[in-house]
Amino acid sequence: MTRLHLVRHGPTHAKTMVGWSDIPADLSDHAAIARLQAHLPSGGIVVSSDLSRAADTASAIEGTRRRLPHHPDLREINFGTWELRPFADIEAENPELAFAYWDNPGEVRPPEGESWNQVCARVDAVIDGLIAEHTGSDLIVVAHFGVILTQVQRALAVDAQQAFSHRIDNLSVTEITDHGDRWSVERINHIP
């Protein structure tokens, strides 16, 4: 049994589509960071996306826990040409594609970006590798909204649209357990 503690990075305050851009997190809420650090298992193993907003959040909660190298395949969704643009602008430019991307996730992808199915395959491979290498551990994965939802979808065995109905706040924890033959979800979007 391996437990995943999926932590969303600290807020960026960006009002645009932020995927692979390296925008820093605001980690000034020291009380929230302390609560999060205290909530996570002391013997957990910490790994994060290589983007600074996740890596810096991981450093803020690491404490004496073992830390693995950053993993680039734990990055957020690659939004391609939509990157750093307000959603209203994207929707005005191509309303059909914007609607399809969020309403019917799967093979639909932004120009030069990746589809939801591509994100799931990328993240599932990393998580499966971490579980295989650290079976029986508490894995604290500091990542992004999309990364966390890929694992919610997998664990709940729901479609992408149902996964997207879940809220994932900054500095929240989603707890999922791999029992070897099945997955269970203990909490989604828990704010310690």
CA–chain centroid gap for 65, Å, is 20
Q: How far apart are CA 6 and CA 20, in angstroms?
A: 19
Q: In the prediction, which pLDDT does 20 show?
A: 96
Judged against a pLDDT cut of 90, whether residue 102 lies above it is answered with: no
Instruction: Report which residue type is found at 39.
Output: H
Model confidence pLDDT, tens digit, residues 115-136: 999 999 999 999 999 999 999 9
Instruction: Report which residue type is found at 115.
Output: S
- Show the domains of the chain with their CATH numbers: 2-190 (3.40.50.1240)
Integer angstrom CA distances of residue 188 from 55, 161, 179: 21, 16, 18
Judged against a pLDDT cut of 90, whether residue 192 lies above it is answered with: yes
The structure tokens 């992004």 sit at 144
Judge residue 24's burial from the number of C-beta atoms within 10 Å of its C-beta, 0-12 exposed, 13-18 middle, 19 or more buried: middle
* DSSP state at residue 106: S
Judged against a pLDDT cut of 90, whether residue 60 lies above it is answered with: yes
Predicted TM-score (pTM) of the model is 0.95
